[in-house]
Structure 1
Amino acid sequence: MALPDDSTLPGPVRTCVGCRGRAAKCELLRVTVGLVDGRQAILPDPTATAPGRGAHLHPSTECYDLAVRRKAFARALRCEGGISAAAVGTYLDSKTVMDTTRNWSKSS
């Protein structure tokens, strides 16, 4: 698979922590470290406005699974290893359900 030439991509280019593919920043989901119930967790940042260090991920369950398996979130965000990324998985699952529902409603 040929990698896209960075000069042909619109805007800033980032690397997906899951598949390690390069893509335009606007095509990727930004994730950051935040607090959930008083514990650190990796959270989705779809508006890319949360403060602090961020990492980027294709908004697909395949790239999410790769990132979890490779422990790429903790490495990219420079945080302790036992941090939960479940909130990102839940976000991607809900987005997939919404997209599926939206496509179904257009076809009727």
Structure 2
Amino acid sequence: MRTCVGCRERDQRSALLRLVLEPSGREEVLVVDMRGCLPGRGAWIHPTPACLALAERRRAVPRALRVTGPLDLSGVREHLERRDR
């Protein structure tokens, strides 16, 4: 069981997306861990735009990943849009 950082509801690991920070040059980029096996601390979220919006409004993703400052969630948003097509 994992907790969605957006709606705060508990759900099966298979029903949630795992978000992790991946090193990319000098900065770290937020990516969707499709297989759930990338190293590092993860944040779990339901694969819906509503949960992503809640997480963004609550600033829950940086807090869950223990990062100071805001994160760019545009890659996650694009992933959700592609998934809905």
Q: CA deviation at 1:75?
A: 0.1
Deviations, residues 5-63 of structure 1 (Å, cap 9, x unaligned) = xxxxxxxx000000000001111001101245643222111110110000100000000
Displacement after TM superposition at 1:85 (Å): 1.4
Match of 1:70 among 58, 71, 83: 58
Q: Which residue of 1 aligns with 2:19?
A: 31
2:49 is aligned to 61
1:42/1:87 contact within 8 Å kept:
yes
Q: Residue 53 of structure 1 contacts residue 77 of structure 1 at CA under 8 Å; is this kept in 2?
A: yes
Unpaired stretches in structure 1, ≥5 consecutive residues: 1-12, 98-108
Q: How does 1:1-108 map to 2 (within 5 A)?
A: 13-36=1-24, 38-97=26-85
1:74 to 1:27, Cα distance in 2 relative to 1, 3 A: same
Name the count of aligned residue pairs.
Answer: 85
Secondary structure, in 3 states, of the residue corresponding to 2:80?
helix
**Cα RMSD, aligned residues only:** 1.3
Higher radius of gyration, 1 or 2: 1
Residue type of the alignment partner of 2:30: I
Q: Which has the higher contact order (CA 8 A, sep 6+)?
A: 2
